[in-house]
């Protein structure tokens, strides 16, 4: 593709000294070819002259549900990863709760091969911790890691006992992998919702206490394991943030993520395909105090990463039936954060939570990705965005198959202009250049 000259961009990200002013950057032949003042335009270059744009390392999403193989009517590997690229992501982690779940080497190999064929950006495939996500017997974690699993999680379920989780942490540690936990205490969920998931109000009945309880159990498993790395997925409550903060002070190897919707949205939300229907997610959206605690945790580093929990679903055939819980949102993640006034003045921290934060969570499993820095001579693994521009997601520009999104037709702040992944341009906005320029 043509060389790209970005004039007067602000560099952000690990390794960029704070206070670094605006610079010119040339990306050529898949490499950050030059960083400096008043750089000459290479022959044939596409020149972007807007002041105020930001250049950061490409983002890494720790938590996506690709739905394929298994449920291609909900989402495809190609569409989810195209949406991620348009959201500034140069790589993403795919959860294991496909149908059937990725709990053996054969299924993992099938996923890896399909991801390689169809994904726009590299996919780090997670495998299940337990067979069938049922919590009773552990999946063959060592074999799965050797075959290419980037980490382990039963996300969607939390059926592992303290002892099983302890074993999983130890076995995953033997192969340098992290164990992710969806922290909701299943016994407490069942007690709060004896009718099961078919009740239309069931999704509201997921008490906050179930999260704190699961976080406590998971931390105790980590303590007893004596080694291993625990990652707590989609924290939503002040109590959980506080438990993680204390655990980090204690020196436990725990990390945590929060989603943009738990950080920024309150319910009820309308299904964009049916104004009478509500959109819900698991865990549910919480109250103002919880959101304030999540932001505090994100800004002080207790929450290591922001992750999308991209969870696309189809439109139900029965107009009265609500959709399965979860939001399609990876494409709007950055904008959701920047549209919240609490992000003001914290752009650097947000970029960390989308770059070096997730890398730290994954450890050696992400070593094949370029380091999360913007450096001359490094492979172009970059995101260019306008932090103050506006856009409105709509069906025409939404690349995920999942229309279960709270972001359609909302005026969002923060526009991704280009994404490079391992030297390849994987997304160019119309604003920056016609699609034909995408190499």
Phi and psi at 202, nearest 5°, equal -55, -35
Residue 61 binds to Zn ion (criterion: CB under 5 A): no
> Measured from the CB of residue 203, what is the shortest distance to Zn ion in angstroms?
13
List all residues 6 or more positions away from 294 whose beta carbon is below 8 Å from its beta carbon.
235, 236, 238, 241, 258, 262, 263, 303
Residue 257 binds to Zn ion (criterion: CB under 5 A): no
Restricted to residues 168-207, the positions that interact with Zn ion (CB under 5 A) are: 182
Restricted to residues 414-433, the positions that interact with Zn ion (CB under 5 A) are: none
Q: Is 24 a catalytic residue?
A: no
Number of residues that bind Zn ion (CB under 5 A): 2
Contact 48, 389 (CB under 8 A): no
Q: Of the residues 155, 309, 318, 340, which is catalytic? A: 309
**Which CB atom, from 60 or from 418, has the smaller least distance to Zn ion?**
60
Beta-bridged to residue 237, according to DSSP, are none
DSSP-derived secondary structure letter, 77: H
Restricted to residues 308-337, the positions that interact with Zn ion (CB under 5 A) are: none
**Which CB atom, from 63 or from 322, has the smaller least distance to Zn ion?**
63
DSSP-derived secondary structure letter, 99: S
Among 24, 68, 155, 352, contact with Zn ion (rule: CB under 5 A): 155
* Beta strand ranges found along 226-362 (DSSP E): 230-232, 254-258, 269-271, 274-279, 305-306
| Closest residue by beta carbon to Zn ion | 182
Restricted to residues 20-39, the positions that interact with Zn ion (CB under 5 A) are: none
Question: What is the C-alpha to C-alpha distance for residues 5 and 27, in angstroms, rounded to an integer?
Answer: 7
> Measured from the CB of residue 333, what is the shortest distance to Zn ion in angstroms?
16
> Measured from the CB of residue 394, what is the shortest distance to Zn ion in angstroms?
28
Contact 202, 227 (CB under 8 A): no
> Measured from the CB of residue 227, what is the shortest distance to Zn ion in angstroms?
25
> Measured from the CB of residue 312, what is the shortest distance to Zn ion in angstroms?
14
**Which CB atom, from 35 or from 306, has the smaller least distance to Zn ion?**
306
Residue 67 binds to Zn ion (criterion: CB under 5 A): no
Q: Phi-psi bin for 130: left (phi > 0), alpha (psi -120 to 50), beta?
A: beta
**Which CB atom, from 235 or from 337, has the smaller least distance to Zn ion?**
235
Judge residue 195's burial from the number of C-beta atoms within 10 Å of its C-beta, 0-12 exposed, 13-18 middle, 19 or more buried: exposed
**Which CB atom, from 166 or from 262, has the smaller least distance to Zn ion?**
262
Number of H helices and number of E strands within the chain? 12, 18
Residue positions annotated with a catalytic role = 309
Residues in contact with Zn ion by CB under 5 A are 155, 182
């Amino acid at each position: 593709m043509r060389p790209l000259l970005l004039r007067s961009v602000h560099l952000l990200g690990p390794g960029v000294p704070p206070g670094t002013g605006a610079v010119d950057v040339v990306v050529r032949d898949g490499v950050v070819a030059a960083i400096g003042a008043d750089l000459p335009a290479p022959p044939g270059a596409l020149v972007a002259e807007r002041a105020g744009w930001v250049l950061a390392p490409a983002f890494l999403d720790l938590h996506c549900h690709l739905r394929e193989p298994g449920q291609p009517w909900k989402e495809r590997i190609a569409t989810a990863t195209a949406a991620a690229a348009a959201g500034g992501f140069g790589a993403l982690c795919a959860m294991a709760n496909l149908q059937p779940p990725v709990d053996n080497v054969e299924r993992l190999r099938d996923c890896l091969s399909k991801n390689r064929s169809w994904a726009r950006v590299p996919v780090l495939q997670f495998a299940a911790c337990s067979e069938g996500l049922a919590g009773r017997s552990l999946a063959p974690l060592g074999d799965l890691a050797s075959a290419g699993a980037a980490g382990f999680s039963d996300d969607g379920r939390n059926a592992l006992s303290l002892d099983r989780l302890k074993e999983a942490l130890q076995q995953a540690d033997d192969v340098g992998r992290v164990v992710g936990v969806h922290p909701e205490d299943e016994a407490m969920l069942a007690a709060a919702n004896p009718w099961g998931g078919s009740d239309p109000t069931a999704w509201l009945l997921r008490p906050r206490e179930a999260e704190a309880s699961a976080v406590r159990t998971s931390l105790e498993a980590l303590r007893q394991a004596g080694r291993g790395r625990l990652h707590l997925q989609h924290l939503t409550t002040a109590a959980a943030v506080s438990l993680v903060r204390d655990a980090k002070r204690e020196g436990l190897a725990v990390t945590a993520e929060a989603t943009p919707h738990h950080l920024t949205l309150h319910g009820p939300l309308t299904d964009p395909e049916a104004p009478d229907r509500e959109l819900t997610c698991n865990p549910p959206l919480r109250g103002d105090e919880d959101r304030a605690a999540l932001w505090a945790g994100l800004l002080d580093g207790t929450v290591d990463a922001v992750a999308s929990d991209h969870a696309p679903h189809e439109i139900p055939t029965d107009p009265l039936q609500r959709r399965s819980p979860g939001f399609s949102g990876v494409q709007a993640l950055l904008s959701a954060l920047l549209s919240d006034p609490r992000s003001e003045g914290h752009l650097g921290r947000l970029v960390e939570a989308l770059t070096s934060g997730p890398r730290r969570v994954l450890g050696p499993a992400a070593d094949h990705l370029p380091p999360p820095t913007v450096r001359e001579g490094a492979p172009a693994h970059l995101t260019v965005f306008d932090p103050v521009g506006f856009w409105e997601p709509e069906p025409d520009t939404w690349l995920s198959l999942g229309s279960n999104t709270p972001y359609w037709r909302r005026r969002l702040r923060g526009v991704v202009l280009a994404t490079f992944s391992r030297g390849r341009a994987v997304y160019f906005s119309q604003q920056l250049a016609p699609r034909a320029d995408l190499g």
